[in-house]
């Protein structure tokens, strides 16, 4: 894909020519000239210059949508060429959160690879916004995760709901809150430990930030000590060492019990959400369709 489109996408993502230039390791005048040249070639204005950053015009929004699709197709072409070079006939690139991996996906992958020994598998781990970004850039074919509330409508993705999830709040076995008569109100006195939390670089995926902001307010993020950890195993080590409270899917109760981690006995249920499989609208090969069917079949056993 032409580099000018990549540079335009960087400006659209950062909302600023200077920030995009820094990310691309280019000078601001060079990037400005690229955008002006692109506007001249297309014969339409792509950006609205403001005192702080830029906004996309309706032409810019259309170009962003088309350029993102071109970038995904270009990346898939490069991957397919790389596979041909090493004589790989098919590959699946999948994303998942740590919880779903431990609950059932690792067993699905073992079963799938035994049945399809000629197919190679790439795995990416992270939260749903990170994995959505990878999906949009063609770096994965599908991922299992929570439904993204407020996701931008410009992304050509399908979501296959599989089961309902409820959030629990976990602590170490000797945590003071387990002896408290008011664990819900007193839990805000202790640090919050967040596993693979959402980060700013992926907020551009959302049209509506309201649900995320309300969730952060409910957890008191602006009023308490917060540990953000990008690894489940590291989070368990920290939780066993410090008197923190960790929100995580209630379905992981048995997994954590084996590691000295227990849920707080709260009178009110935690946040609920739908867990499912995200994939692109594009036509899928038989190997990908087979994995989707197996994932849905095995995950229904969790209901």
- My answer on whether 36 and 183 are in the same domain is no
82 falls within a domain: no
> Do 94 and 160 fall within a single domain?
yes
Residue 103 lies in a domain: yes
Q: What is the CATH number of the domain that holds 24?
A: 1.10.10.10
Cα–Cα dist 93/295, whole Å: 14
Residues 51, 131 within the same domain: no
Q: Residues 221, 109: one domain?
A: yes
70 found inside a domain: yes
pLDDT of residue 87: 45
CATH number of the domain that residue 235 is part of: 3.40.190.290
**Shared-domain flag, residues 241 and 200:** yes
- Given 76, 105, 130, the domain boundary residue is 76
Q: Are residues 229 and 134 in the same domain?
A: yes
Tell me the pTM: 0.71
Cα separation, 263 vs 171, whole angstroms: 6
Does residue 264 belong to any structural domain of this protein?
yes
The predicted pLDDT at position 84 comes to: 58
Within 10 angstroms of residue 286's Cβ, the number of other Cβ atoms is 8
Cβ–Cβ < 8 Å for 218, 268: no
How many domains are contained in the chain?
2
81, part of any domain: no
- 63 lies in the same domain as 107: no
Q: Per-residue pLDDT tens for 272-299?
A: 899 999 998 765 667 788 888 888 888 7
In a domain, 21, yes or no: yes
- Report the alpha-carbon distance of residue 137 to residue 46 in Å, rounded: 22
155 and 30 co-located in one domain: no
Residue 12: which domain range?
3-76
Q: Which one of 49, 76, 103 terminates a domain?
A: 76
Residue 85 lies in a domain: no
Contact 287, 90 (CB under 8 A): yes
- Write phi, then psi, for 279 (nearest 5 degrees): -155, 165
Residues 71 and 218 in one domain: no
> Of 76, 109, 136, which one is at a domain's C-terminal end?
76
Give yes or no: residues 66 and 130 share one domain.
Answer: no
Q: Is residue 40 located within the same domain as residue 167?
A: no
Asked if the structure places residue 84 within a domain, the reply is no
Q: Verify that 204 and 284 share a domain, yes or no.
A: yes
The distance in angstroms from the start CA to the end CA of the chain is 44
Residues in the chain, pLDDT under 70: 83-89, 269, 282-285, 303
């Amino acid at each position: 894909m032409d580099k000018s489109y990549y540079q335009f996408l960087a400006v659209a993502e950062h909302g600023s020519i200077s920030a995009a230039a820094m990310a691309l390791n280019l000078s601001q005048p060079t990037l400005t000239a690229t955008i002006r040249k692109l506007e001249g070639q297309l014969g339409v204005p792509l950006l609205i210059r403001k005192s702080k950053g830029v906004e996309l015009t309706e032409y810019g929004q259309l170009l962003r949508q088309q350029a993102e699709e071109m970038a995904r197709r270009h990346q898939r072409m490069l991957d397919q060429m790389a596979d041909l070079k090493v004589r790989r006939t098919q590959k699946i690139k999948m994303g998942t959160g740590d919880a779903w991996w431990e609950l059932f996906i690792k067993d699905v992958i073992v079963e799938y690879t035994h049945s399809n020994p000629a197919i190679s598998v790439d795995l990416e781990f992270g939260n749903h916004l990170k994995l959505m970004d990878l999906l949009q850039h063609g770096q994965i074919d599908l991922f299992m995760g929570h439904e993204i509330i407020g996701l931008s409508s410009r992304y050509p993705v399908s979501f296959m709901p599989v089961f309902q999830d409820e959030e629990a709040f976990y602590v170490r076995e000797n945590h003071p809150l387990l002896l408290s008569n008011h664990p819900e109100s007193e839990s805000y006195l202790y640090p919050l430990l967040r596993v693979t939390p959402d980060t700013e670089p992926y907020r551009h995926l959302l049209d509506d930030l309201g649900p995320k902001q309300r969730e952060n307010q409910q957890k008191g993020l602006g009023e308490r000590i917060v540990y953000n950890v990008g690894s489940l195993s590291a989070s368990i080590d920290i939780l066993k060492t410090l008197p923190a409270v960790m929100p995580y899917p209630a379905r992981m109760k048995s997994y954590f019990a084996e590691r000295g981690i227990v849920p707080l006995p709260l009178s009110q249920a935690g946040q609920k959400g739908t867990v499912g499989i995200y994939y692109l609208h594009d036509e899928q090969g038989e190997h990908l369709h087979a994995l989707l069917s197996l994932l849905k079949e095995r995950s229904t056993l969790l209901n």
